Amino acid sequence: MKQQIYLDNAATTQVLPEVVEEVVKCLTEDFGNPSSLHRLGLQSERHMKQARSMVAKLIQVSPEDIVFTSGGTESNNLAILGTVRARKRYGNHCITTQIEHPSVLNTFHYLEQEGWNITYLPVDRYGVVRLEDFKEALRKDTVLVSIAHVNNEIGSIQPIKEMGLFLKGNYPETVFHIDAVQSYGRLPIKPVEWGIDLLSISGHKIHAPKGIGALYIKRGTPISSLQWGGGQEFGIRSGTENLPGIVGFGRAAQWIQERISNDGTLIKEMKTELANKIAREIPEVVFVGPNPSEGAPHILSISIPGVRGETLLHVLESYGVYVSTGSACSSRNVRTSHVLKAIGVSPQVAEGSIRISLSYLNSNEELSQVPNILKRSVNQVKRFTRR
């Protein structure tokens, strides 16, 4: 069987065997409805409570502040739309950035059509918001700030702690929402200390199944439900809970908790070493966004001048190496990335960009093969292009 080196972990991760085991058990044995009063229902409720605690522990918050959703997109929609509906009498201004995930940007585009005033903060060439721009954009009628902790395409990290502390010290009524889909389980996150009111997370980015996520809601934060029914998830998100997904999410969070302090640093070191080896093998490589020694520990965005990223992706695939071209969250949309436009890269660099993203399952042994495979793939593409 051909080797498989999976380096598209910012798009999704491989589900852990121990997570699969827990999920299958919930599907075949402990399958009761958590709302039922009989033994199977009470057992399911206990499983769900335990999973909620494990998901909360990773960000040091109370389990009662975790509301399970279907994933990051729903969490972001609930955070944004739920906040503006609850706070609309206090103002009609929101702040976000130019490089957000489509689930955030498109939600704000919808709100603009509804009459809301949205400020899209610019970023520097590394993909980072200037604190001065953030402070200047705040107004008395700003009801919500929504910003991603880590950008999913280039791995830039926003100064969330500084933003949150300034916000709570000067605009305490403004709700602060963080999209932490790419940072949860990879970077330290302290919502209570940093003044974060809402925080979106997703299971399939940390080796849990797809279709499960959560929204942290600080107690007392005003938010309106977007769906009504039986009042599950503390009345915020009605509907029978996805118990197998929730249990899998909890088990994955527990697995990550055991590794994040040591292996989190290890992943960053592996990424930096990989970047250095790529630079030696391919001197013309362009690192897009943050310096490889900075930024998110798992995301490396590169571009090879004169080589189309999509073509390179498929050649790498033929060698068993899986990467992506920018974001994998836009249904195969081939337009130039809005993130790359926002950081000011040239069309040529944007066209040649690929994203390499690591996980706790990647090894030094497999990563040591990547620079040489990448070099061979680049040369193969160049030979084909010259024809």
* Those residues with Cβ within 8 angstroms of residue 266's Cβ, 6 or more apart along the chain or in another chain: none
- Can you tell me the distance from the alpha carbon of 69 to that of 349, in angstroms, rounded to the nearest whole number? 37
Residue 36: predicted pLDDT: 78
Kindly report the number of other CB atoms within 10 A of residue 304's CB atom.
23
Task: Identify the pLDDT of residue 255.
Answer: 96
Among candidate residues 230, 257, 284, the one where a domain is terminated: 257
Supply the CATH number for residue 71's domain.
Answer: 3.40.640.10
* Structural contact between residues 214 and 180, judged by C-beta atoms closer than 8 angstroms: no
Mean pLDDT of 275-281: 97
Q: Is 43 in the same domain as 154? A: yes
Q: Residue 333: what pLDDT?
A: 55
Report pTM.
0.94
Phi, psi of 299 (to 5 degrees): -115, 130
Question: Based on the domain organization, do 307 and 218 belong to the same domain?
Answer: no
Which residues fall within 8 angstroms of residue 305, CB to CB, at 6 or more apart?
284, 286, 348, 349, 352
Reply yes or no on whether the pLDDT at 327 is more than 50.
no
Q: What angle do CA 362, 366, 372 make, to 5 degrees?
A: 135
Contacts of 245 (CB under 8 A, 6+ apart): 23, 203, 208, 209, 211, 212
Query: Which of 131-140, 147-156, 255-264, 302-311 has the least mean pLDDT?
Result: 255-264
Return the minimum-mean-pLDDT range out of 41-55, 235-249, 275-289, 328-342. Answer: 328-342
Distance CA 176, CA 1 (A): 49
**Given 257, 290, 325, which residue is the final one in a domain?**
257
Q: pLDDT of 56-89, one tens digit each?
A: 999 999 999 999 999 999 999 999 999 999 999 9
- Residues 271, 222 share a domain: no
* CA–CA distance, 172 with 191 (Å, rounded to integer): 15
Residues 382 and 274 occupy one common structural domain: yes
Q: Which of 217, 236, 304, 329 is catalytic?
A: 329
Condensed to tens digits (0 to 9), the pLDDT of residues 231-248 reads: 888 889 989 899 999 999
The whole-number pLDDT of residue 156 equals 98
Regarding whether 319 and 244 lie in a shared domain, the answer is: no
What pLDDT score does 256 carry? 95
What's 278's domain CATH number? 3.90.1150.10
Compute the mean pLDDT over every residue in the chain, rounded to the nearest whole number: 93
pLDDT over 70 (residue 1): no
Domain termination site, one of 225, 257, 289: 257
Q: Find the mean pLDDT for residues 352-372.
A: 96
Q: What are phi and psi of 3, to 5 degrees?
A: -60, 155
pLDDT of residue 332: 54
Distances (CA, A) of 40 to 20, 35, 125, 152: 20, 10, 54, 40
Shared-domain flag, residues 49 and 65: yes
Q: Are residues 228 and 280 in the same domain?
A: no
**Do 62 and 179 lie in a common domain?**
yes
Given pLDDT bands bounded at 50, 70 and 90, which one contains residue 266?
confident
- Is 26 an annotated catalytic residue? no
Q: What is the pLDDT of residue 35?
A: 76
Q: Distance between CA 325 and CA 305 in Å, rounded?
A: 14
Written in H, E and C, the secondary structure of the chain is CCCCEECECCCCCCCCHHHHHHHHHHHHCCCCCCCCCCHHHHHHHHHHHHHHHHHHHCCCCCHHHEEEECCHHHHHHHHHHHHHHHHHHHCCEEEEECCCCHHHHHHHHHHHHCCCEEEEECCCCCCCCCHHHHHHHCCCCEEEEEEECECCCCCCECCHHHHHHHHHHHCCCCEEEEECCCCCCCCCCCHHHHCCCEEEEECCCCCCCCCCEEEEECCCCCCCCCCCCCCCHHHCCCCCCCHHHHHHHHHHHHHHHCCHHHHHHHHHHHHHHHHHHHHHHCCCCEECCCCCCCCCCCEEEEECCCCCHHHHHHHHHHCCEECECCCCCCCCCCCCCHHHHHCCCCHHHHHCEEEEECCCCCCHHHHCCHHHHHHHHHHHHHHHHHC
Residue 328 is predicted with a pLDDT of: 46
- The answer to whether 259 touches 276, Cβ cutoff 8 Å, is no
- Alpha-carbon gap, residue 210 to 248, rounded angstroms: 10
pLDDT at 334: 58
Structural domain of residue 143, as residue ranges? 17-257
% of the chain surpassing 70 pLDDT = 96
Q: Domain count of the chain? A: 2
What's the mean pLDDT in 113-124?
Answer: 97
Looking at the structure, tell me whether residues 122 and 239 fall in a common domain: yes
Give the pLDDT mean for 336-351.
93
**Is the pLDDT score of 119 beyond 60?**
yes
Does one domain contain both 267 and 336? yes
Give mean pLDDT, residues 262-280.
Answer: 89
Q: Are residues 64 and 135 in the same domain?
A: yes
Q: Are residues 67 and 141 in the same domain?
A: yes
